[in-house]
Amino acid sequence: MTQPWKIAAVQMDCRLGDKPHNLRIMKARLVEAAASGARLAIFPECTLSGYCFENKEEALAHSEPLPGPSSEEIKGACRELGVSVIYGLLERQGSSLYNSLALVGPGGLLAVYRKVHLPFLGVDRFAERGPGPFVVHELDGLRLGMLICYDGGFPEASRCLALQGADLIVLPTNWPPAAIANPLHVVVTRALENHVYFAAVNRVGTERGVRFIGMSRIIGPTGKPLAVSESDREETLYADIDPVQARRKRIVHEAGKYELDRIGDRRPELYSPLVQDGGTP
Domains of the chain: total: 1
* Alpha-carbon torsion (17, 20, 26, 28), positive or negative: negative
11-35 residue pLDDT tens: 999 999 999 999 999 999 999 999 9
- Active site members: 45, 115, 149
Q: So what's the pLDDT on residue 279?
A: 58
User: Is the pLDDT confidence value at 278 over 70?
Assistant: no
Q: Is residue 280 part of a domain?
A: no
Q: Is residue 47 part of a domain?
A: yes
- Percentage of the chain beyond pLDDT 70 is 98
> 45-70 burial by CB neighbour count: b if 16+ within 10 A, else e?
bbbbbbbbbeebeebbebbbebebeb
Q: Is residue 116 part of a domain?
A: yes
Sheet holding 96-105, edge to edge: 108-114, 96-105, 84-93, 40-42, 5-11, 235-241
User: Is the pLDDT confidence value at 281 over 80?
Assistant: no
CATH number at residue 46: 3.60.110.10
Q: Is residue 152 part of a domain?
A: yes
173-185 residue pLDDT tens: 999 999 999 999 9
Q: Is residue 251 part of a domain?
A: yes
Q: Is residue 109 part of a domain?
A: yes
Q: So what's the pLDDT on residue 1?
A: 59
User: Is the pLDDT confidence value at 36 over 70?
Assistant: yes
Domain coverage including residue 253: 5-275
